[in-house]
Copies of this chain bind each other. A is one copy, B any other.
Amino acid sequence: MSHTYKYPRAALTVDCVVFGFDESELKVLLIQRALDPFKGKWALPGGFVHVNETLDDAARRELTEETGLKDVFLEQLFTFGAVNRDPRERVLSVAHYALVKQKDYQAKAATDAANAEWFPVSMLPKLAFDHADIVATALTRLQGKVRYQPIGFELLPPKFTLSELQHLYEAILETALDKRNFRKKVQGFGLLVPLDETQMIGRHRPAQLFRFDADKYKKLKKRGFNFEL
């Protein structure tokens, strides 16, 4: 079965910049293309949008198919529409970015995503299409958004230490932060709940674990509260 239109139409894809954080490095999940064009090259997970699914649905479906990821934080980023961005024909890409907890991902990785791999943002390989532009745009967006929205927690496990949180912000913003000032500020929001557990790794004092109180944040946000790092 085929489909005929009066005027030529662009093809429509979604692509996802998946960010992860591990051991004080911000990473991006890439897949190795199995088909031409750019066969063998690294690229963002993504693919064609079905005519009866939303952009968000398409992005999530492609993520699951290509990387095994489900139920992640996902947001639309920008639509890339340069005329020759795909050598075959006119193809638009509605780019998204996702934030995932790397540990959640480990389990799925083994089964679903044989050819997916994490790369540090500072050491990306050459990417297919205009995907390098897309990653750059996503990084800029992440750097901007992490300062006034508590989305960083999407990159951390549910229980985390203040040092982990600080290292995350330092990795994203590419700056060093003062330990005491950082702790004062993030604890000042009253959104970090200390748990009855500590994390004991390495031969030094164990660290207090916290969780982010998402419910409390939602309530505060409704009353005009502004998270600002």
Contact = CB atoms under 8 A, between A and B. Distances in A.
A6 B52 CA distance: 15
B54 A81 contact: yes
Contacts of A81: 49, 54-56, 94
B8 A3 contact: yes
Contact of A12 (B10, B50, B78): B10
Interface residues of A, number: 29
Interface string A5-43: 111111110000000000000000000000000000000
Interface in A28-84: 48-56, 76, 78-79, 81-83
A interface secondary structure, majority: loop
A101 interface: no
A92 interface: yes
A90 interface: yes
Copies in the complex: 2
A54, A55, A79: most-surrounded residue (chain B CB, <10 A): A79
Contact of A9 (B51, B54, B56, B82): B51
Nearest to A58: B81
Contacts of A53: 83
Contacts of A79: 55, 76, 79, 94
Contact of A10 (B7, B51, B78): B51
Interface of A: 2-12, 48-56, 76, 78-79, 81-83, 90, 92, 94
